[in-house]
Amino acid sequence: MAEAGRGDRPLVEVRGLTMHFPIYKGLFRRRVGEVRAVDGVSFDIRQGETLGLVGESGCGKSTCGRAILRLYDITAGSICIDGVEIGRASQATLRPMRPRMQMVFQDPQASLNPRMTLAAIIGEPLMEHTRMTAAERTARVYELMDAVGLNRTFANRYPHEFSGGQRQRIGIARALALNPRFVVCDEPIAALDVSIQAQVVNLLEELQDRFGLTYLFISHDLSMVRHIATRVAVMYLGRIVEIAGREQLYASPLHPYTQALLSAVPEPDPDYEAARRRIILTGDVPSPARPPPGCRFSTRCPKVMDICRRVAPELAEAAPGQFVACHLYPATTPEPTAGRTGGTEARPRAPAGQFQQGEPQ
Amino acid sequence: MTDVLTPPAPEAAPKPPRSPWRDVWDQFRSHRGALAGLVIFTLFLLAAAVGPYIWRVDPTFITIRARNLGPSWTYPLGTDQLGRDMLARMIAGGRISIAVGLTAMALSLVLGTLVGMLAGFFRRLDGPLMRLTDLFLSLPLLPLLLVMVMLFRESLSQRFGPETGIFILIVFAIGITSWMQTARIVRGDVLALKEREFVLAARSIGTPPGRIITRHLLPNVMSPIMVSATLGIANAIITESALSFLGLGFPPDFPTWGRLLFDAVDYIRDYPSRVIWPGVAISLVVLSANYIGDGLRDALDPRIRGR
């Protein structure tokens, strides 16, 4: 299979990804349960596309992103990046894989070591994975700083001397240092001012065009995801409830949770804004340590049925290219596996210009 | 905001990355106390190192007729109850005291940092190592030191000679019984630091644990280590004095600052200067070490630098 469709195969294939964190309690620190942060998530990301991963706080988006890069030892599931299975690989065998997959972190303040200069921070991946001399490394660091729009004279400064947007640029430069193919952006704009958010997102898009990057863009900002993503996955309490192409998802959300989520996005046009009907969910998100039986959303769903409280719905194709995990939409065609999640139907939506594979310079 | 989007003009040639130690030194210089401390500490070190070659008087030579003299040109700091030259004794004593203080501090620092770092970083080692730390903390130190001296004094003296043997024993004894505070502080800081995102970022880069520790964690726990280092010097000098006082340190005729102090205590009413000199020396060394530590801690923190 790997040889058959190298060009056709998605860059990232995630199957049944599960990440449980054990809870220890009591005098003897006995294991009393686990937080099901991510519970059986499957999706594909094709070369050059951006998958937006949205959901409210605590639904497991960030954990999902980190687990895909194997920053955690996953509980179950398989992760295949560029045809290599890394779900069970040890950290030592993963090390040579690391240059291909990188991460941009949420908090640009916390993700930079306060005791390192900018040159040292951006140069760290180069130091770890290449045999460059100091001069070559400096040249590459300058190159990267140019690419993300940082002044070269900043190389000797420390992270605390920069603004939030600049710090995020440093984080992006570090992630790009080794020419990765796949970048997980873990809410890269959540900690920034709105004016800076646009700059950073535009920078990410520009870099995607230039270097042929593939993004997993984690965010809770729906309008930003609409702007950058080619496909969008909606998560709720550790599961994906809906995954579809961007236009399709925003035009006709099928899952009640997605509908509620999208109804909360403010509308810039006052006429539409007046007509906007917000679906207000009642209650709180259940604890991921004790998720409800059946559908995870059944406790808050406005359209809840009897079956929802008993049987957990599987992700199934409800409309072409649109997969929903909800009993409201009986699967039109029986789905043999969850493996078809990121269907080929979504493909035409990826901007053609982003497929080019190119090394920087 | 001040994001600079335009690439720099080509004529503005950027400076090559500077060594971080230059910045540290620049900041250290701006800390007056630290600079004064450094000067005083260096003077003491010089006096201890070069002093015996300039003031060529045997610190153990007894001139029974010149007992209990005050300061004069022949005896700048006077003589003690056996007519030994106080200046020569101060110099010889400073040699031992500073050497013991620095080495014992270094030993306890290395031990404490190692234990704290391993316990904080590797979850599996945390329990055993911290229980070991608790065990050492609960040991009564003085009896432990006495037992160690009793057990190992002879064999070490035979192998390395009486002076070096005792030196090794005392440094080891002080080092092994004073690392626990450092270990606890370092562990606490590492536990907090390793959850920070920059450590996660280093892991996503593929930095192995060893280099995460040396590159990311160690520089960030430098401040508490510096503080316990400077306190450790004082502690070591004082513990050595106590041991000498109990007759378990260096041989009785062998001068150390602690020994001089305790010898002079009997004569404090008649000749207070004999207590004051070693006392002042100990205080000055400890104080200057503290100031150096303070300055270093500030200089090593880029956020404080340049203020």
Q: Where are the domains of chain B?
A: 22-299
**Helix H segments across B161-221?**
162-176, 180-193, 197-205, 209-212, 218-220
Q: For residue A347, is pLDDT > 80?
A: no
How does pLDDT run across B99-140, given as a tens digit for each residue? 888 898 889 999 999 999 999 888 888 889 999 999 988 888
CA A112 from chain center: how many Å? 20
Pairing of strands A239-245, A322-324: antiparallel
The reported pLDDT for the residue numbered B305 is 64
The reported pLDDT for the residue numbered B12 is 46
Torsion on CA atoms B196, B201, B203, B209, rounded to nearest 10: -50
List beta partners, residue A245: A231
Structure tokens at A40: 């059986």
Q: Does the beta carbon of A191 lie under 8 angstroms from any beta carbon of chain B?
A: no
Closest-CA distance of chain A to residue B46, Å: 33
CB-nearest to B206 from A66, A95, A169 is A95
* Cβ-Cβ contacts under 8 Å, B202 against chain A: 113, 124
Cβ–Cβ of B204/A71 closer than 8 Å? yes
Cβ–Cβ of A158/B207 closer than 8 Å? no
Cβ–Cβ of B201/A99 closer than 8 Å? no
CB-nearest to B197 from A105, A129, A153 is A105
For residue B206, the SS3 value is coil
Do residues B167 and B236 lie in contact, with contact meaning Cβ atoms separated by under 8 Å?
Answer: no
Using CB atoms within 10 A of its CB, is residue A43 exposed (0-12), middle (13-18) or buried (19+)? Answer: buried
List beta partners, residue A240: A235
Q: Which helix (H) or strand (E) holds B155?
A: helix B141-160
ipTM score of complex: 0.78
pTM of the model: 0.78
Structure tokens at B200: 């996660």
Structure tokens at A360: 């920087």
Distance, CA of B123 to CA of A73 (rounded, Å): 15
* Cβ-Cβ contacts under 8 Å, B302 against chain A: 114-115, 158, 160
CA A359 from chain center: how many Å? 23
Q: For residue B21, is pLDDT > 80?
A: no
Pairing of strands A231-236, A50-54: parallel
* Cβ-Cβ contacts under 8 Å, A128 against chain B: 205-207, 211
Do residues A62 and A186 lie in contact, with contact meaning Cβ atoms separated by under 8 Å?
Answer: yes
CB-nearest to B1 from A102, A153, A163 is A163
Distance, CA of A340 to CA of A10 (rounded, Å): 11
Per-chain mean pLDDT for chain A: 82
How does pLDDT run across A119-143, given as a tens digit for each residue? 888 988 888 888 888 888 888 888 8
Distance, CA of B198 to CA of A109 (rounded, Å): 9
Closest CA to A259 of A205, A316, A328: A328
Do residues B228 and B181 lie in contact, with contact meaning Cβ atoms separated by under 8 Å?
Answer: yes
User: Residue A156: which pLDDT band, with cuts at 50, 70 and 90?
Assistant: confident
Using CB atoms within 10 A of its CB, is residue A210 exposed (0-12), middle (13-18) or buried (19+)? Answer: middle
Do residues A287 and A23 lie in contact, with contact meaning Cβ atoms separated by under 8 Å?
Answer: no
Contacts with B91 (C-beta within 8 Å, 6 or more apart), sequence order? B47, B48, B51, B52, B55, B59
Mean pLDDT over B150-170 rounds to 82
Residue for token pair 């080891």? B172
Distance, CA of A293 to CA of A259 (rounded, Å): 22
Contact residues, chain B to chain A, C-beta under 8 Å: 1-8, 12, 14-18, 20, 196-198, 200-208, 211, 215-216, 219-220, 222, 300-303, 305
Select the highest-mean-pLDDT range: A62-71, A259-268, B136-145.
Answer: A62-71
Q: Does the beta carbon of A21 lie under 8 angstroms from any beta carbon of chain B?
A: no
Cβ–Cβ of B200/A66 closer than 8 Å? yes
Do residues A24 and A80 lie in contact, with contact meaning Cβ atoms separated by under 8 Å?
Answer: no
Closest-approach residue (CA) in chain B for A115: B302
The reported pLDDT for the residue numbered B14 is 54
Closest-approach residue (CA) in chain B for A192: B1
Q: Does the beta carbon of A106 lie under 8 angstroms from any beta carbon of chain B?
A: yes
Distance, CA of A90 to CA of B202 (rounded, Å): 16
Cβ–Cβ of A115/B220 closer than 8 Å? yes
For residue B271, the SS3 value is coil
Closest-approach residue (CA) in chain A for B20: A117
Per-chain mean pLDDT for chain B: 81
* Cβ-Cβ contacts under 8 Å, A138 against chain B: 16-17
Q: Does the beta carbon of A100 lie under 8 angstroms from any beta carbon of chain B?
A: no
Cβ–Cβ of B4/A151 closer than 8 Å? yes
Distance, CA of B57 to CA of B85 (rounded, Å): 7
Q: Does the beta carbon of A56 lie under 8 angstroms from any beta carbon of chain B?
A: no
More confident residue, B204 or A353: B204
Closest-CA distance of chain A to residue B102, Å: 27
Cβ–Cβ of B8/A153 closer than 8 Å? yes
B22-299, which class in CATH?
A: mainly alpha
CB-nearest to B17 from A99, A117, A165 is A117
Closest-approach residue (CA) in chain B for A137: B17
Mean pLDDT over A165-175 rounds to 88
CB-nearest to A152 from B1, B8, B198 is B8
Cβ–Cβ of A117/B200 closer than 8 Å? no
Q: Does the beta carbon of A356 lie under 8 angstroms from any beta carbon of chain B?
A: no
CA distances from B218 to A156, A171, B123, B178, B181 (A): 20, 21, 17, 20, 17
Distance, CA of A13 to CA of A338 (rounded, Å): 11
**Helix H segments across chain A?**
61-68, 91-94, 118-129, 134-147, 164-176, 194-211, 222-228, 246-251, 256-263, 270-275
Please give the backbone phi and psi of residue A15, each rounded to the nearest 5 degrees, phi first: -130, 120
CB-nearest to B14 from A110, A142, A196 is A142
Interface of A with B in 122-141 (CB under 8 A): 124-125, 128-129, 138
Cβ–Cβ of B204/A102 closer than 8 Å? yes
* Cβ-Cβ contacts under 8 Å, A120 against chain B: 17, 20
How does pLDDT run across B218-262, given as a tens digit for each residue? 888 888 888 788 878 878 887 887 777 677 777 777 788 887 887
Cβ–Cβ of B201/A105 closer than 8 Å? yes
Q: Which helix (H) or strand (E) holds A90?
A: none
Cβ–Cβ of B2/A163 closer than 8 Å? yes
How does pLDDT run across B26-83, given as a tens digit for each residue? 778 888 888 898 999 899 888 888 877 877 777 777 777 767 767 777 777 777 777 7
Mean pLDDT over A331-340 rounds to 47
Cβ–Cβ of A111/B14 closer than 8 Å? no
Distance, CA of A257 to CA of A320 (rounded, Å): 20
* Cβ-Cβ contacts under 8 Å, A98 against chain B: 204-206
